[in-house]
Structure 1
Amino acid sequence: MQAASQRPAGKFAFELFVAVAVIGLVCALGPWWAVYEFNPDEGFNLQKAVLVSQGHALYSEIWSDQPPLLTYWLAVVHDLFPFSVVAARATVLLFAAVLAVSLFRVVARFEGLFAAAVSVILLASSSLFLELGVSVMIGLPAVTLALVAIDVATSGTPRSRAFHAAAAGGVFALALLTKMFVFIMVPAVLVALWFGVPRQVSNSMRATALSLVLFLIFAASVMAVVLAMLGLSAEQLVGTHLAARQSDEFAGIGGFRDLFSLLRHGALIPHWFVVLFGLAAFWVRPRSPLLIPMLWLVSGVAVLGFHRPLWNHQALILVPPLCWLGAAGFKSLFVPGERLGFAEMLLEKSGPRMRMSALAGVMVLIGVIAAHAVREVRHVRELFSSGPSIAEAAAQTRLALYDRGAGSLIVDHPIDAYYLHRGVPANLAVWSAKRVAIGQMPEAEVLEDIKAHPGSPVLLRRHSFTQGFLNRVADHVPAVAVSTQRYGGPDIHFFAPAGPASDLETRLLAQLPAVVAGSMGGVAGPNAGERLARPQSMNVLPDRSVVARPPGSAQELGACLVAASRIAQSRRLFLEAAGVGNALACVQTRNGGWAEHASTMAGCTGNVGHASADEVETLDDGTMPSILYFSFDLADRFGELSLDKPAWLTGMIERALSFSVQSQLADGSWPQTIGGNRYHKLATLNDDTMTGMIRVLLVGYQRYHDPAYLAAARRGGDFLLRAQHKAGQTGFAQQYAESLEIEPARKFEPPAFSSLETGYAINALIDLHLVTGDKRFLVAAEAAADWLRSSQIAPETWARLYEVGINRPVYADRSGAVTYRLEDLSVSEQRSYRWIGGREVFPEIGVALDRMDKLRLGTKNLRDHDATVAAASLLAATPTARLPLTAAGGMAVADDLGSTRGFAVYCAGLVASAMQADAAVQDGTDP
């Protein structure tokens, strides 16, 4: 029988390298420290540690169905690094490094350094190991301690066998006191003790028996001492798991099929190494130390295969023996004395053709394994790089907004409170699905805890609750309902004490549920409950649609809710505004843009960039700029309230700005629609498309200082310089071909210069000049303004379109017939398009000319003027979505609020009235 080998020279250097390599690999895969939660058990373990640190007793005060050791360990970490998820995860990462080193040591002891290195590589290829290596969960530390016990049991010299056996017993007791599922490894540990006694030792059977006795005595002694000090509840520790096994809720979670599925998904490469090499190696050497990992696997599969419920973190216990056995089998391919039969035949008895075929097969196998390894790495990288989900961020926002220093928070995701440096009631630290399912946490008991903590916010987002229970909670703590929440993720039931509501808050919240009941954006359809994207549309929107194209878009609603929350200092209105942001994040496309509208019926539980069903992004009518301006304002409001900006919001903004750069055409322009055809793919100034993109990118550059945004805006400005006509008509057209020829769009929009689009261009050129200092943009803006002044058809009146070369107004009907007299069009066609008007019809012309006049007086005059214009409306820089802040808008009544646009105007009117009232109070003129 093979004995433990001697320690190779310089082995410590290899072990140190293994530890550093594992830690380095995990850190290189992504910011695991920034992941909100890997598993709900993280919150349970962290909150138990907080409570123990505060002096609460485990089991008697703190319910727990797990052994106590890791809880006390984490309590020490909490004392050193209070409320630090990073410190707790780093502690587990150290256990992961020890696990890798122990595996390396044991495999090297019996199989050599090559097999040991392969075993660690296989371990590092397991996504189960990598994920649980930084999760604040008890499984990996327990397996680590159990493997350390095997390492200790099989190391040392004949003289130190007794000491090592006793030490192994003590360490294995600590493993059991961390998580009891390591009892699976008892047969493997006992066999390891057998192999730990060199066969050349006289009376080796007696020495082995002595080792076993010492191991058992010290294991029992350490457990007895620790339990006497820390205590334990057999009912919670054992009874809970037995009851869960009988629960119908978990009947379908487990079984051998599920177990092997977990291994295939979380440890695929070690799994196949065992199938291909490890089992054959054990067949060749059944009495070798390979019996240790084989017994480990067999007992583990036998126990876990019948366990209910079965979770992925429990399957981790089978990963180290898979790596051990697979590495030993792989090594056997190259060792003549141990070589597997088929390898022996191929390498020594086959001809060149068979060897080449075998080599080709090996190369294919290596390719398959490499592909799986890449997939595993990609999965872990995505996991480690995922910020808080929309639901997690919403939970943090609500709790932080309403937390007024309460001692404990009532949450069914305990980690939600931990991130706010708050504890939870001792009885609620482990609010697990298992405990709920077996009836050990009835709603009445939860309600008693809520009553015992008056004034504490209550946030429920994990479990299902009866409406009766929610009503009883609301009897003690007022419910904080958020109407816009239905678009941005799973249900969150939130309750918190609230002060008196202002008139503005009351009036808006009374109407808002009806406005967002069918879709967020759009107008009421012809039938009850139906919503249309636009008045002229006949297509009914699917339920829970989010309309991104103005007018009547979600961002118009959101912009006014932000302003209303600011003037009324309303937390409720702020949460509604954040809900609008959630909804827009949910329908943002993979590229970072938005379709005209998209439904969130499929749910939105992940991070920013949830792909919409319709991948055709639009820039029409200021879709992108208006969403970004709203998002900027929402982000500022988070800052004003001293709240962390959520990952979904910062991510949405970053993706949108990146999309704005990437969607720019090679000539520096932007089309109306990404991937569109006909005139939709042309360089488009119509409805402020590309000029709006230039201006919002300049704002993005000023906020975030990314030179890519400025470079894209400059390229857009350079396009305008090239497109501007130089022969007397220094205006701009609605759309251009690649050759810069003016192109028609809809049949009633012939090739022509446009007064309105020239106004858009002037504003963009002025902004470019202000940000870059480039006078070319100023010269072009002045020339365009001169053309506007010379093209008036009456004082302060312009036609929309002017014929190229002649500069006389031109009109067209829906058939495409062009005329020079507006009267030639039918009355309906005269009214269906802005053909003629002054500043009230073409406000951007007036804005552009006024800005030019102010700029001639100096930059400060212009900036003061711009500030005044911006303060007069919401979304001031987006003409199609702009909401004037006039008190008259607030005179609407409920029956007039059938559209999102109508409600946004009503909201802006109420905001304007509130602003005027505040100004009167400050001026001392309020009666």
Structure 2
Amino acid sequence: MNSSAAPPDAPPLMPLSPWVFNLGVPLGFGAIALLLMPLATMFQFDSDEGQEMVKALLYNQGYPLSTIWSDQPPLLTVTLAAWLRVWGDSIMAGRSLILGFSMVLVWAFAQVLRRAVGDRFALLGTGLLILTANFLRLSVSVMIGMPSLACLILSLYAIVRYHESQRWYWVAIAGLTAALSLQYKMFTILLLPLWGLYLWAGGAALSWQAWWEHHRWGRLLLWGGCLGLAFLGLEWLWGMSLDDAFLFHVQGDLKAAFVQEHSLRDVALFYAQELDHVGLACFGIMAQVRRSRRQPAQLNTLPLLWLLWVTVFLINHKPIWYHHALLITLPLVWLATLGLKICWTTLHQRAQGWQQVSWPWVAIAFVLVAIPVKLTLLHLNNHDLLQRGAAYRGAIAQLQAEQPAPDAWFFTDIPIYSLYTHRNIPPEIATLSRKRIAAQDFTAAQLRDLIETYDLQQFLIGRFPIVEDFLRQLYPDRLTTTDYPTVRYYHLQRDP
């Protein structure tokens, strides 16, 4: 195992069996997720779960991607639809698929980490990652972020393997997996320039002569070519264009729509949630800054550049969602693991006096104290989500009791109701998101058209009061209402 990132005079450690990382790490993480997360009983971990499930169900029923409104690439819809055809239309099946992607991410991250800090510290670092805020929740939620990040880290792992073996096919694999990452969620495009930089420059200190080495440009062109061809090929396969997936983001002034959002505060909160890792990462950052003056292209330089770049970008970006924290968490944990190794080495070398090793002890103790705190917060968060889910389920019975016809459509801004009631919502509202409402991309006129097109008579609304306002404005005398703890049920009487 590569020990080039080890601090000077680090005590030698025997490498672990590859099976520990190839089987033990992903399967161990999967077991932890199944043990700690209520996959089968949670109503929804996030409202995005309903959106992704509904899109896949509609796609399986024959509705083309172009008719299912979405502001994201379609690869998860296609993948999830195929998965559900095999395992059934259940939320447990969808969550199991995402857990599989999460296991791939954890495996690939551990493989990269062991090359950066050694086997034993890579195991510790993987444990730190698993216990970061919302990592386990996102690891089982039917959302597009985790599949995208899993492919992104696979791409980085392939680049690392190329620098080890100098085999060209690893460059091709890195490009293909990067393209898959973008086809799941485009937010990983932010990091691809860093991946390209490490592919081009990794493994050796840079010099003016190195800028003109032809093989560096060749591998970069191979990577970029595989990435571009695979991405555009999938776009062609879906019968879509870039405008189909991203026109909403380009035309909608989302920063203006989310003017009340405070990006700097949100990013500061991401760091505050991982304060224990920040303390360890400080040791890793200081050591890497000193070392980068001599070896600017080493592997452990990458997380520092990654962390700085993502932090600056997110501070200037709106809106920020809690799943964006993973873009900060991954490099922060990497640097924290490097810091943990440096602290361990310092303690080993200077164990004769408390005053000499006080700060490393504080950093390590802070992590040890934080572990039970994070597990407690995870339990409380799951308990809160389960309670809210129980309240959401109360409206299902009435929706089913008043079902006008077996194939009747209904309207809801909480799309997971479509899954639990086995009834369809219009494809045009499969993704009725907060971004879409804030950008005023859904209007009263559109609601009226949906009602007339699909003969909608039942409405469950619990997220967006403006939709209720539209409904009352359009049909003030034809609505009957039932209030539930988390949603409001409307029945629209037919026009006499």
Query: Shorter-normalised TM-score: what interval?
Result: 0.7 to 0.9
Confirm whether residue 221 of structure 1 aligns to residue 229 of structure 2: yes
Deviation at 1:444, TM superposition (A): 1.3
Structure 1 residue 68: Cα displacement? 1.2
Partner of 1:798: none
> Which residue number in structure 1 is paired with residue 340 of structure 2?
330
Secondary structure of 1:155 counterpart: helix
2:96 match: 90
How many angstroms does 1:41 deviate by? 1.2
Aligned to 1:383: 381
Q: Is the 8 A contact 2:447 2:470 kept in 1?
A: no
Secondary structure of the residue that 1:459 maps to in structure 2? strand
CA distance in 2, matches of 1:34, 1:490: 18
Deviations 1:740-786 (A, max 9, x none): xxxxxxxxxxxxxxxxxxxxxxxxxxxxxxxxxxxxxxxxxxxxxxx
Give secondary structure in 2 for the equivalent of 1:150.
helix
Number of the residue aligned with 1:374: 372
Give the distance between the partners of 1:160 and 1:400, measured in 2 at CA: 61
Give the structure 2 partner of residue 906 of structure 1: none
- Whole-Å Cα distance in 2 between the matches of residues 163 and 3 of structure 1? 24
Q: How does 1:488-567 map to 2 (within 5 A)?
A: 489-490=485-486, 492-495=488-491
In structure 2, distance between residues paired with 1:273 and 1:148: 25
Deviations 1:74-117 (CA, angstroms, capped at 9, x unpaired): 11122123321111111111111111111110111232112311
Do structure 1's residue 101 and structure 2's residue 102 form an aligned pair?
A: no
Instruction: State the one-letter code of the partner of 1:193.
Output: L
Residues 4, 405 of structure 1: CA spacing in aligned structure 2 closer, same or farther, 3 A cutoff?
farther
- Any idea what the Cα deviations from partners look like across 1:544-572, whole Å, max 9, x if unmatched? xxxxxxxxxxxxxxxxxxxxxxxxxxxxx
Contact 1:243 1:438 in 2 (8 A): no
Equivalent residue runs for 1:746-761 within 5 Å: none
Equivalent in the alignment of 1:48: 55
Question: Match for 2:120 among 114, 118, 121?
Answer: 114
2:264 to 256, 270, 286: 256
The match for 2:354 is: 356
Of 211, 220, 228, 1:212 maps to: 220
C-alpha separation between the residues in 2 aligned to 1:249 and 1:84? 35
* Aligned pair partner of 1:298 in 308, 331, 337: 308
Query: In 2, Cα distance between the equivalents of 1:116 and 1:205?
Result: 33
Matched, 1:142 2:148: yes
1:705-716 → structure 2 map (5 Å cutoff): none
Q: Is the 8 A contact 2:159 2:171 kept in 1?
A: yes
- CA deviations on 1:123-180 (whole Å, 9 max, x unpaired) are 0121221110011111111111000000011115776521111110011011011111
Q: Is the partner of 1:183 in helix, strand or coil?
A: helix
- Listed as ranges, the matches of 1:803-842 within 5 Å are none
- Paired residues of 2:276 and 2:366 also in contact (CA < 8 A): no
Instruction: State how far apart, in whole Å, the 2-side matches of 1:253 and 1:19 are.
Output: 37
- Corresponding residue for residue 428 of structure 1: 429
Match of 2:249 among 221, 241, 254: 241
Contact 2:392/2:487, CA 8 A, preserved across alignment: no
Quick one: percent identity of the two aligned structures? 25
Shift in Å, 1:439: 1.9
Give the Cα–Cα distance (whole angstroms) in 1 for the partners of residues 397 and 174 of structure 2.
48
The 1:95/1:120 distance shift into structure 2, 3 A limit, reads: same
Are the structure 2 counterparts of residues 16 and 298 from structure 1 closer, same or farther at C-alpha, using a change threshold of 3 Å? same
Match for residue 586 of structure 1?
Answer: none
The alpha-carbon distance between structure 1 residues 331 and 4, as it changes in their structure 2 partners (threshold 3 A), is: closer
Matched residue, 2:325: 315
1: CA distance between counterparts of 2:415 and 2:258?
Answer: 22
Contact 1:114 1:331 in 2 (8 A): no
Contact 1:425-1:449 at 8 Å conserved across structures? yes
Gaps of 5+ in 2: 7-13
* Aligned residues of 1:402 and 1:496 also touching (Cα < 8 A): no
Structure number with higher helix proportion? 2
Q: By how many angstroms is 1:309 displaced?
A: 0.6
Q: Separation in 1 of the partners of 2:394 and 2:474? A: 20
Residues 401 and 360 of structure 1: CA distance in aligned 2, closer, same or farther (over 3 Å): farther
Q: Which letter maps to 1:402?
A: E
Aligned to 2:11: none
Q: Is the 8 A contact 2:114 2:121 kept in 1?
A: yes
Cα 1:192–1:33, aligned 2, differ >3 Å: closer, same or farther? farther
CA contact (8 A) 2:196 2:220 kept: yes
**Secondary structure at 1:494's aligned position in 2?**
strand
Please state whether the residue corresponding to 2:285 is helix, strand or coil: helix
The 8 Å contact of residues 245 and 308 in structure 1, kept in 2 or not, is answered as: no
User: 1 CA distance for matches of 2:133 and 2:228?
Assistant: 34
| Contact 1:188 1:293 (8 Å CA) reproduced | no
Residue matched to 1:19: 26
Name the counterpart of 1:397.
Answer: 397
| Cα-to-partner distance string for 1:361-409 (whole Å, 9 max, x where unaligned) | 6555444333322221112223334425254123323322222423432
Corresponding residue of 1:481: 481
The one-letter code of the counterpart of 2:44 is E
- RMSD value over aligned CA atoms? 3.1
Q: Which has the higher contact order (CA 8 A, sep 6+)?
A: 2
Structure 1 gaps of 5+ residues are 336-342, 499-927
- Distance in structure 1 (CA, Å) of the matches to 2:122 and 2:213: 28
Separation in structure 2 between the aligned mates of residue 273 and residue 450 of structure 1, nearest angstrom = 56
Output one character per residue of 1:797-824: Cα deviation in whole Å (capped at 9) or x when no partner. Answer: xxxxxxxxxxxxxxxxxxxxxxxxxxxx
- Partners in 2 of 1:440 and 1:388 — Cα distance? 32
CA separation in 1, counterparts of 2:251 and 2:456? 35
* 1:334-358 residue CA offsets vs partner (Å, 9 max, x unmatched): 44xxxxxxx49x945x9x5xx2245
Contact 1:49 1:75 in 2 (8 A): yes
Matched AA of 2:182:
L
Is structure 2 residue 29 aligned with structure 1 residue 33? no
Say if 2:276 and 2:363, in contact at 8 Å, map to a contact too.
no
Contact 1:4 1:154 in 2 (8 A): no
Q: Secondary structure at the match of 2:191?
A: helix
Partner residue, 2:75: 69
Q: 1:140, 1:312 → 2: CA distance?
A: 13
User: How far apart, CA to CA, are the structure 2 residues paired with 1:371 and 1:294?
Assistant: 25
> What residue identity is the alignment partner of 2:459?
V
- The code of the aligned residue for 2:180 comes to L
Residues 670-698 of structure 1, C-alpha deviations (whole Å, 9 max, x = no match): xxxxxxxxxxxxxxxxxxxxxxxxxxxxx
Structure-1 separation of matches of 2:159 and 2:358: 42
CA 1:97–1:37: 2 relative to 1, 3 Å: same
Structure 1 residue 18 displacement after superposition: 0.7
Shift in CA distance, 196/364, structure 1 to aligned 2, threshold 3 Å: closer
Change (3 A) 1:322 1:232: farther
2:188 and 2:452 map into 1 onto residues whose CA distance is 40
The 8 Å contact of residues 16 and 120 in structure 2, kept in 1 or not, is answered as no
Q: Which has the larger radius of gyration?
A: 1
Q: 1:244·1:250 contact (CA, 8 Å) conserved in 2?
A: no
State the distance in 2 between where 1:2 and 1:362 align. 21
Q: Which residue of 2 aligns with 1:785?
A: none
Q: Secondary structure at the match of 2:481?
A: coil
By how many angstroms is 1:419 displaced? Answer: 1.3
| Distance across 1 between alignment mates of 2:4 and 2:423 | 54
Specify the alignment match of 2:183 in structure 1.
177
CA separation in 2, counterparts of 1:3 and 1:360? 26
